[in-house]
Structure 1
Amino acid sequence: MTSPDPSPLVLPEFGFGAAQLGNLFRETTEEEADGAVRAAWEAGLRYFDTAPHYGVGLSERRLGERLAGYPREEYVISTKVGRLLRPGPGTGDDMDSGFAVPDDVVRQWDFSEAGVRRSHAESLERLGLTRVDILFAHDPEEGPTEQALSEGLPALARMRDEGLVRAVGVGSKDADVLTRAVRTGLIDLVMLSGRYTLLEQDASRELLEECVRHDVGVVAVSVFNSGLLARHEVPDDAHYEYGDAPAHLLERARELAGIAERHGVTLPDLAVHFPLRHPAVRSVALGMRTAEQVRSNAQRMTRTIPAAAWDEIQAGLGR
């Protein structure tokens, strides 16, 4: 196994989230996967994030196959630990976990040191790589939280110190669990899902303060809040947190779309750029399934948001 690049890890501002390569909610065809990764590379994206959880290994395999043709030293890749993949019954599908794949593989929680190291090794095999740059403990709030914090994080820190990875962290939608992880002093990054967005900031206020205090970087994901901020014209049936958006959030999203329009941009443009305004946020990773989605988001990434738009949004937050 080759050692990671010893130079300081600098995350690109925008990244490619590969959950959709694992058939999130519906099948992603091989052609769609090919096109999405190719378009991401052509657009200049050089950070790719995946996990064993995404399609019980399918995302890692697909991403690794498609990155194989590109120079390894030119991109950053992260994956996650905490769920080992083991043989399943093979009698149904994985839709209860949100992935349109057979259940011939199932997940087994394990944040022990042996489990974390085994997960890392098995991810390398699925990816076809000799190294990844970042390992995140994945969704500890959904599994054995205390084991993740007391055993998993020290194990990850030792792996970083041994040179097996360049950085370690925790990925979660639970800001309180992430705050506890930051306070251990063991991690470099958190991947924060949906709790620091154009629409929602309150839940992550303490976390972000701790990240600044401990020099822990933030990768912001789910910045569209499961779809509510993904379109400029906000439909009545828009989703928030994978369910129907409540009326007050629909109203706020439409107010934000109006601000965007007054300043010559769109609601999704604002959503993509908003997290990067915080000093703790190093990167925004967007989940993308097709080349069309990649190109659309890549255009958003290059847009300049007028300062007056942020001023108007800030004034609204102070109401």
Structure 2
Amino acid sequence: MSRLGLPAVGYGVAGLGNLYSAMPEEEWPRCVPAAWDAGIRYFDVAPHYGLGLAEERLGASLAAYPRDEYVVSTKVGRVLEPNPDYEPGQTDIDSLFDVPATRRRVYDYSRDGVLRSIEQSLERMGLDRLDIVLVHDPDDHEREALDGAFPALDELRSQGVIRAYGAGMNQSAMLTRFVERTDLDVVMMAGRYTLLEDGAAHDLLPAAAARGVDVLAAAVFNSGVLATPRIASDARYNYGAVPEELRRRVDAIADIAERHGCTVPQLAAQYPLRASVVSTVVLGAKSAEQVRANAALVDAQIPMAVWDELESAGLVARAL
């Protein structure tokens, strides 16, 4: 049961920040309404996504809906400021976002950095409050996060400025330390508890269960290798090429799924939720159609026989 009452699926809106390529102007306004119509009420964003563009577009889209009926999480750790070196035509594509590089990111996990980042996020989204704030990727800033960001967020929570706080990372080891050393409410883990990886089952998930911390699972398709019923020719695994051994494993999973009338993406979306401590999967999308398709993945009925066969064949780790 989610300590925060979060739903089983959330919409990660990095795509609204022109992740990899610019979204058509007529497309991005359709995405949040599609999510809303599909029953999605949790939206995750960050200043990092499109140098603030994702927050701006999310806020503009959510303005049409009652504030008490949705949950928003954003992140701290990268404060945006004007880019003094900007030249016309310069983009942020080196950081994966196809937006003008009129702003730049400054890593700042201090108390002041947290307060400035939250103030800027509220302004960009046009909101008067935030539900969840996550310390974003403090891999090289663990001490600063522990000394600055987390105490600041704890203070804001006690004042009622934010409802909950936590951290979001691509690794489980540091998240585990944060669970053990702070009074956070939630962690977002990208890619480390999926159909293909269960590393977090040995550290983060037991620690979170012991402390009553919600776990949000992101990047459940491992960069795309699990995003299609059969591996696409240009599929990636953790942002790189798919190793041949892993390709064979995914093919074997797909064979079993097909025999039972389900698909690899359905399994990938639902696998993390089989762990009781995982409250939510956060799925990204760059179109209204993808948003609707993602919501359907979590709703799909998967026979228990599928999981039993996958586990017996050693293709998938047993759920906690």
Q: What range describes the TM-score normalised by the shorter chain of this pair? A: over 0.9
Matches of residues 102-251 of structure 1 in structure 2 within 5 Å?
A: 102-141=100-139, 143-251=140-248
For 1:82, the equivalent position in structure 2 comes to: 77
One-letter identity of the residue aligned with 2:14: A
The alignment's TM-score, normalised by the length of structure 1, stands at: 0.94
Determine the C-alpha separation between the residues in 2 that align with 1:39 and 1:121.
28
Cα distance between partner residues in 2 of 1:232 and 1:173: 25
| CA–CA separation in structure 2 for the residues paired with 1:318 and 1:154 | 36
The CA deviation at 1:203 is 4.6
Q: Aligned-pair distance for 1:205? A: 2.1
Residue number among 46, 53, 56 corresponding to 1:61 in the alignment: 56
Aligned counterpart, 2:30 = 35
* Cα pair 2:20 2:96 within 8 Å, conserved: yes
Counterpart residue number, 2:295: 298
Q: Match of 2:166, SS?
A: strand
* Secondary structure at 1:243 match in 2: coil
Taking the aligned partners of 2:4 and 2:277, their CA distance within structure 1 comes to 15
Give, as a single letter, the amino acid of the residue that structure 1 aligns with 2:120.
E
CA distance in 2, matches of 1:166, 1:298: 25
Residues 1:282 and 2:316 aligned together: no
Letter in 2 for 1:247: E
Contact 2:170 2:192 survives alignment (8 Å): yes
The DSSP-based 3-state class of the residue aligned with 2:279 is: strand
Task: Give the corresponding residue for 2:94.
Answer: 96
Give the whole-Å Cα distance in 2 for the aligned partners of 1:285 and 1:72.
Answer: 20
1:202 CA displacement: 2.2
Matched, 1:19 2:14: yes
- Asked if the contact 2:150/2:182 (under 8 Å) is kept, the reply is no
The residue identity in structure 1 corresponding to 2:33 is R
In 2, Cα distance between equivalents of 1:225 and 1:127? 29
Kept after mapping to 2: 8 A contact 1:190/1:218: yes
Question: CA–CA distance in 2 between the matches of 1:318 and 1:281?
Answer: 15
Equivalent residue for 2:308, pick from 296, 306, 311: 311
Distance apart, 1:145 and its partner CA: 2.3
Normalization by structure 2: what TM-score? 0.94
Q: CA deviation at 1:204?
A: 4.6
Shift of 1:287: 0.4
Structure 1 contact 175–204 (Cα < 8 Å) conserved: no
Matched pairs, number: 311
How many Å separate the matches in 1 of 2:233 and 2:20?
21
Contact 1:260 1:309 (C-alpha < 8 Å) held by counterparts: yes
| Long gaps (5+) in structure 1 | 1-7
Alpha-carbon distance in 2 for matches of 1:222, 1:318 = 18
For 1:97 and 1:204, locate their aligned partners in 2 and report how far apart those are by CA, in whole Å. 30
Residue type of the partner of 1:132?
A: L
- Structure 1 CA distance, aligned partners of 2:128 and 2:25? 24
Unaligned 5+ segments in structure 2 are none
User: Quick check: 160-169 or 144-153, which moved more?
Assistant: 144-153
SS of equivalent residue, structure 1 residue 15: strand
Cα distance in 2 between the residues matched to 1:173 and 1:20: 18
Report the RMSD for the aligned CA atoms in angstroms: 1.4
Name the stretch that deviates more: 28-37 or 100-109: 28-37
On the 8 A contact 1:154/1:186 being kept in 2, the answer is no
Between stretches 200-209 and 103-112, larger displacement belongs to 200-209
Q: 1:298 offset after TM fit, Å?
A: 1.8
Q: 1:237 Cα deviation (Å)?
A: 3.2
Distance 1:203 1:237 in 2: 27
Give the percent of matched residue pairs that are identical in Structure 1 and Structure 2: 50
1:3 equivalent in structure 2 = none
